[in-house]
Each structure stands twice: as structure tokens, then as C-alpha cells.
Structure 1
Amino acid sequence: MSQHDGSQHERFEEELGAVLRRTGDGFAAGDRRELVAGGLQRGRRRLLRRRLAVTGGVLALAAVGVGGVYGGSLLSAGDAANASVAAPPKPLTNTTPASSTTPKAGLGEKGDHVPQIPVKDIAAVLKKNTPQGTWAFDSLDGNGQSVAGVFDDGHGKAAVTVGLYRAGAVEAGEDQVDCPDKVAVPYDSCTEQNLPNGSRLMILQGYEYPDKREETKNWRAVLLTKDGFLVDASEYNAAAEKGSPVTRENPPFSPAQLKTLVTSRDWRPLLVKLPRYTEPAVDPGTSGLPPEPSGPAMQATLRSLLPKGLKVVDKNQDSGYAHMVVDDGKGKSLVGVNVQPDMSDVADELFGSGDVTTLPDGRRVKLTQQPGEKGGAGVVWWSVDTITPEGFRVVVSAFNSGAQHEAATRPEPALTMAQLKAIALSLKWQNVPMR
């Protein structure tokens, strides 16, 4: 990897981390089709996948493709915003307190949809619905839709954030009623619950960093109301989400207390002040984005192409992506595949270096064997990347671990490079139905 490619990859790793931290964002109850326009969702998803394809390859794509959500403010006109695996969506605001660093995706260009919720009112509801302790907020001036503070109950300071959103202002994909896939995002516990009033609640007890390189825990509760409002609360066992030492074993509020917080009726008068989400105008030149391959069909195709003798112990999929954790009796091995139509415009970037050959039919094939990049000790990452002259791309990867952030379970992946190449070059991928 060149120095330029390396720095580009490092910058995007930060953005990818933000994507992973958004895997719990934007849960929708019941029929999510009423909450988000599918065309915009596919456009953002495709744009993000294209950017990841150029900078991070299949590893990055795999991370996004597993039960993920990209947040309505994550992508603006051709760029990704910085976010934090369990941080709340970035707020929309016209003030500059600590709770107001925000992209403005989903707003009108003139900023006429800025939420008119006094930040001090959000803080007041937060304090009213949590146990006794002292609070410190950087600023409670102005309006916004979230607040961040430090809570101290005498057992160690803890960062706490709460955000209020309309579900239409964040991506709401079909898989977002599920807890994150542990292959991509490790956690200790995650529960989902449909409440009697029609709301849906998720409580996640996880970590700030997927590879647990620091001991910072992130416990989070997300409530989606029947009429499409989100209440998103996160807490940490440190005084800041990042860059602060751990102050206590666990965050201060129990899962039951988090539930009490996000389900409080006190949020209702504030939620109704949120502006209605307006679908941004679609550029006629980008409205004809190609559909993506069906996740279930991709998973079935991958299973049919795996060598005999491999036991599937875990699996998941999303549009354009599928993975399986297999075991041949010698240890778990993660195997994933991405299928991306219409990638001609980035083909030269993807196949301009490395071990690349061109087949008689014009397909280009790139073989890569390198160390893993998600913190798992001893993990290696083998991949075969292919593209047709028409831009139909198939990437197959395998690891010598059941998850990229976990230690190696075996010396090499369960599939050889020759087997990965055979899977990637199979013509079955071109027959996978689109959605």
C-alpha cells in the first residue's frame, strides 16, 4: 500500500468506525417503509459503499453490510460525516454547545428546519428521569435536539448523551429492528422489545471500540415510537466518549434505568417540536441508481459455492453483502462476499496496483493476502477482487478468525486463495436477483 493510499485508508477508517457505531441508530417499529423513502436510502447506501470500495475494500464493505445503518446525516453531497459503534446521531442545531456538532443533511438548504427545542429543556428531562447525582453540561444555551453532559453519583464520572430525532431523518433499513451482528460489533448484551403502546425499544450493552482496545463501555437505549420519533440515550464508564480514562467498572445507569429514561412521557412535548423531515431534492442525473443484489439470495449463493466439509456456524447478509462463519474442525473462519454492479468508474483505482491479472474474457482479478486491520491478534485477511469489463464487481474475503476483531483461531483461513478465486469468478453472482 502506498503512503497516499495508507493515509487515505486511515482517514476513512475513522469514518468507518463511525458507521459501525451507528449500527444501532434509527430503529423503526412495524412498517418502516412509511418512515423512509427507499430511493434516498439506496442512493446513500450506494454512495457510501462506493467510497468504502475505493478506500477500504471488502473489509470495510463487510463492516457496513452487517445489520448496519448509515444515519441520515452521515452522507452529504459526496462526503461522509464524522460520527461515533454506539454514539447517537449527530444533532441538528443552530447553537454551538458541546451537543451541537452537526452536519445538516435532511434539512432544507436555507436551514429552515432547525429544531426549536431549548437545550436546557432536554437537560431538564434527562435529569428528572435519572437517579440522583450531579450534572455538568458545557452549555445549555440556544436550541437543538440533543444534550451531552457528565454525571457523577459519587462512584465515578460518566459521559451521558441524549438525542431526539424523527425516524424519517435517519436511514431506516430493513435490518434495523435487530441488534448488531456480533461478527461486526461485539457486545455483552442486546435486547429488543415491542412495547404495548406500539413503540420498539433496543438496549445495547457494548463498547466504544469494536476491538476493545480501550476499556470504555457504551450502554445505550433507543426507543422508536409508533409515530416515528426516536429517543436515543448513551452512557459511558468514563467522563468522555473518547480520550478519557475509565472511571468505573460500568456506566452508571442500569438497563432498567435506561428504559425508564427513554420511555418517559416527558419527552413527548419536546419531540413534537422536531421539524418534519423533508426529502432532499434528487439530482436527475443520479436518480437512476442501479438496484442492489438481494442479501438472502447472496447468502444462498455463497453457501452453494463453499467447499464441502465446512460447517456454517453463523451467517448474516444485507443488500449486496453476505457473510458466513465456517468451521472445518480446525477453527472458525469468517468468509464474506460483496457484489457491486456498475463499478466501472472506480475500476482503475481498485485494480491499478497489486497482484492483478486479466482473464481472456476481460475480467480483472486481484489477489491480496495481508494482516487483519480490526485489532484481532494474529488475524490474516485473504481476498480475491474481480470486475468485468462492464463494471460488475465481486469480492470474496476470508479470515482466520470468526470475527475480524477477535484473535485468530487458526493459522490460515478455512478457504485457500484458489477456492476464494473460484467463488469470486462464479457466474452465479451475475444471476443474483436485484432489489
Structure 2
Amino acid sequence: MPIEEDFTEALRTTLLTFEPPNTPSLLQAGVRNGRRRRRRRATAAAVSGTAVLAIVGLGAAVVPGLLSDGRTADHTLAGPAASATTGSATASATPKPTFTGTLPADRALATLTALLPTGLTHSSPPGGRQSGQLWVDDGHGKSLIEVHVSRQTSTTAIRSHVFAGTTPLADGTLIESRQAPPGTDPGHETVNVLHPDGLYVTIMEWQAPSQNGPSTRTTPILTLAQLRAIATSSQWQ
């Protein structure tokens, strides 16, 4: 038999050994396989969704109020966080100091000028902007006024030396005022104010353009009560 016929016969014999496919069985197997794949996809989707929710929950725990679109939710935290919010609100209600240490002389003079009674003129003596000094005139002669403002971190020495024997006000503020004895040349007045937060204000007034010269006035331009009102003003805060 030629080689071609041998090959054809062998192929035919081999094919005859194969059984025809069982179409119903294949169909059922395909259906079962499809159902298994759908179940697997559904399970994977459920697991992925659970993981995403867990991550979002963790993120919300770490960053409270964060929404999925990046916005923040407005809500009140419970427990200790609510106490912290209350503490912040209480702290914000207390005025914060606007300066520490010594208030620069130019700022002190600006506040002093704004607190002066109307009807007075004022000018700066030589070096006054660096030393906190101001000339004030009511038309009857100049007076020299000097102001010093600071916020003290320790007030023990000031209390014992300047305010010894002084009775504090209801809020704890200490005020000490005095006039030079009669015959002192030049005559002068001083007011010291110490607030509970350490704010310390000193204002001095001389009945002359200089603290070392003779008096050029018989009475001060500002009364002691007016000096006290200026020294205790809340504008120094």
C-alpha cells in the first residue's frame, strides 16, 4: 500500500477510536462552570467592598469628619474630644497678650497720645521717642510725661518694692499713685499699675518740660485721677 494510503488508513482508524461528545453533559458542565465563576466574582466583589469600607472606616477614625469626596462633616465629637472643644472655646474667650517683654517706646507713646484728654497739644522732646517721653501743653506751660509699659514674667520684686501695703482690686490689679511732697522742684506725680497677667504700666508727669529743671507750672496738666484713668486703660493690653 502506498505511504499516502497507509497514513490515511491510520488516521481513519484513530478517529474511529474517539467517542462522539456527549452534548447534554457538556452543556450541563458549562452551566455549572458559569455559575461557579459568577459566585467567585460575587464573592470577590463582596470581599473588596468590605475591605474598602474597612479602610474608609479606619480613615474616618484617624481623620474624623472626612467624607468620601474630600469634604469635612460638621459634627460634635463625643467623649474626651468634646471636652477638648469646650476647653478651646474657653481659652479663646480669654484675651491673649499682644506683646511680651517691654513695649517699644513708640508704641507706648502712640497709646498714651490716644488716651490724652482733648484740648491738649503734644510734641516730642529730644530723644523722646526712644525714652517714652512726651511734652504736653494746655496753653499754660509744658509738662513732661514719661510712660513705661512691660509684661513681667515674675512680679515678686515689684510687688514687694513698689506695691508693698497696696490692697488689690477685685480682679487682682494693683494701683499705686503718689505725688511729690510740697516744695519738690519740679513737682511730679507717678502712677504704677500691675495687672494679674504681669502687665506693668508706669506713668510719670512733671510740672516742667524737664525732670531736672525748675517747675514752670503751679499745678500739673493732668490730675492724679486722670493719670490713673490713663494708666489703667485696657488699651495697654
Q: TM-score range by the shorter chain?
A: 0.5 to 0.7
Provide, for residues 19-69 of structure 1, a one-character-per-residue CA deviation record: whole Å limited to 9, x for no partner: xxxxxxxxxxxxxxxxxxxxxxxxxxxxxxxxxxxxxxxxxxxxxxxxxxx
**Structure-2 separation of matches of 1:425 and 1:303:** 15
Give the corresponding residue for 2:162: 350
Q: Which runs of 5+ in 2 are unaligned?
A: 1-99
Deviations 1:213-251 (A, max 9, x none): xxxxxxxxxxxxxxxxxxxxxxxxxxxxxxxxxxxxxxx
Structure 2 Cα separation of the partners of residues 330 and 365 of structure 1: 29
Which residue in 2 is equivalent to 1:296? 106
Superposition map of 1:394-405 within 5 A:
394-405=201-212
Contact 2:101 2:150 (C-alpha < 8 Å) held by counterparts: no
In 2, are the aligned partners of 1:295 and 1:322 still within 8 Å (CA)?
yes
The Cα shift of 1:405 comes to 1.1
How far has the Cα of 1:314 moved from its partner?
A: 2.6
The counterpart of 1:317, out of the listed 129, 134, 140, is: 129
Distance 1:405 1:362 in 2: 35
The alpha-carbon deviation at position 317 of structure 1 amounts to 2.7
The structural deviation recorded for 1:348 is: 2.3
- The one-letter amino acid paired with 1:322 is G
Give the counterpart letter for 1:413 in structure 2: P
Quote the offset at 1:307 in angstroms. 0.9
Q: Deviation at 1:327?
A: 0.8
| Greater strand proportion | 1
How far the C-alpha of 1:371 sits from its partner, in A, is 4.6
Which SS does the other structure have where 2:107 is aligned? helix
Structure 2 CA distance for aligned equivalents of residues 415 and 426 of structure 1: 15
CA distance in 2 between partners of 1:295 and 1:398 (Å): 16
How many angstroms does 1:369 deviate by? 0.5
Match of 1:333 in 2: 143
Residue matched to 1:424: 231
- Could you tell me whether the CA contact under 8 Å between 1:328 and 1:414 is conserved in 2? yes
Shift of 1:362: 0.9
CA distance in 2, matches of 1:371, 1:317: 29
d(CA) in 2 for partners of 1:406, 1:417: 21
- Counterparts of 1:191-270 in structure 2 under 5 Å? none
**In structure 1, C-alpha distance between the alignment counterparts of 2:223 and 2:167, rounded to whole Å:** 18
TM-score, normalization by structure 1: 0.29
Shift of 1:339: 0.7
Q: 1:368 aligns with which of 172, 178, 182?
A: 178
* CA shift in 2, pair 1:314/1:377, >3 Å: farther
- Deviation of 1:413 after TM superposition, in Å, equals 1.5
1:10-29 mapped onto 2 (5 Å cutoff): none
Shift of 1:345: 2.5
Percent identity, please.
34
**How is 1:10-409 mapped onto 2 (pairs within 5 angstroms)?**
291-315=101-125, 316-318=128-130, 322-342=132-152, 343-346=154-157, 347-353=159-165, 356-371=166-181, 378-409=185-216
Residue 378 of structure 1, CA deviation: 3.0
Q: Which SS does the other structure have where 1:351 is aligned? A: coil
1:378 and 1:295 map into 2 onto residues whose CA distance is 26
> How far off is 1:313 after superposition?
3.2
Asked if structure 2 preserves the Cα contact closer than 8 Å seen for 1:400 and 1:413, the reply is yes
Q: Which amino acid in the other structure matches residue 175 of structure 2?
A: V
Identify the structure with the greater helix proportion: 2
Residues 116-150 of structure 1: CA distance to partner in whole angstroms, max 9, x if unpaired? xxxxxxxxxxxxxxxxxxxxxxxxxxxxxxxxxxx
Q: Whole-Å Cα distance in 2 between the matches of residues 338 and 291 of structure 1?
A: 11
* CA pair 396-317 structure 1, distance change in 2 beyond 3 A: same
Partners of 1:313 and 1:391 in 2: CA distance = 30
SS for the counterpart of 2:106 is: helix
2:66 corresponds in structure 1 to none
- Aligned match of 1:192: none
Q: Which of 215, 220, 233 is equivalent to 1:413?
A: 220
